[in-house]
Amino acid sequence: MKKYLMIIRNSFMSSIIYRFHFFFTSLSNVFYIIIIYFLWRAIYKGSGGSINGMTFNQTFIYLALAISIFCLFKTWTDWGMSYQIINGIIVMNLIKPMDIQLLEMCNAIGFVFYNFITVTLPALFIIIFIFQPGVITVSNLMLFLLPMVLAFFISFNIDYIIGLTSFYTESIWGISIAKDTIVLLLSGALIPINFFPEILRKIVGFLPFQAIYHIPLTILISKDMSIYEYLKFLGIQLSWAIALYALNRFYYSRAIKVVTVNGG
């Protein structure tokens, strides 16, 4: 366990080097929050206070935190694995007495800690103390923690699937861009799933993407969620986490047989 903790620490320390990335990511996140605040305030003007069962404050919190969570979970796992394949570095990881999936997940956790401190935490501060939407409660925040852990695990495993695909394709630039677009659109990160047409909501309900953004954020902004609803949401997340983990184990057992390393 100690060696995996060291990987998390090293990943976090490596992230600190990219100070300009932190600055521009934080700045763009703040601009996005300001834009969606005024955009959705204009949409809600004259709506009577609620659209599709969501108030303006709930919608604003949902979307403002959705983009912050996207930044939080942007750990570049898929890009990193592709880079390792192209440059042959993957050999060093494969010969280590470590599980490569756990190794990549620990690297991702280090990035998440860094992103939380530099991007998500400032965004949460701005949302609560400057815009003061008055929706988030302490109890909701406590209930929000476990769904966020499961959301990270699901997000990581989706990235890891794309990373394993680089064992076949080497470069995954187009695949990764398409993945980010699909996840953002179908997870409710850009537009809350409550605003989707009914047929699209049903389709999204069979996909894992809602478990990354929609479920945690719905738990956070809900005023009267029952314990049954909360456990149901956790069950959906846990089911997808287990299914994606099992899929990755199977996929890796196949992909490792075809991996080629440039220069060797």
The tens digit of pLDDT for each residue in 20-35 reads: 666 777 788 888 888 9
pLDDT at residue 263 is higher than 60: no
What's the average model confidence in pLDDT over 129-147? 81
Residue 203: how many CB atoms within 10 A of its CB? Answer: 12
Question: What whole-number percentage of the chain has pLDDT above 70?
Answer: 95
Q: Are 204 and 185 in contact (CB under 8 A)?
A: no
C-alpha–C-alpha distance, residues 55 and 204, integer Å: 22
Of 20, 120, 22, 24, nearest to 67 by C-alpha is 120
User: pTM, whole model, 2 decimals?
Assistant: 0.91
pLDDT tier, 230 (very low <50, low <70, confident <90, very high otherwise): very high
C-alpha–C-alpha distance, residues 115 and 73, integer Å: 8
Residues 6+ apart with CB under 8 A from 219: 140, 143, 144, 147, 225, 230, 233
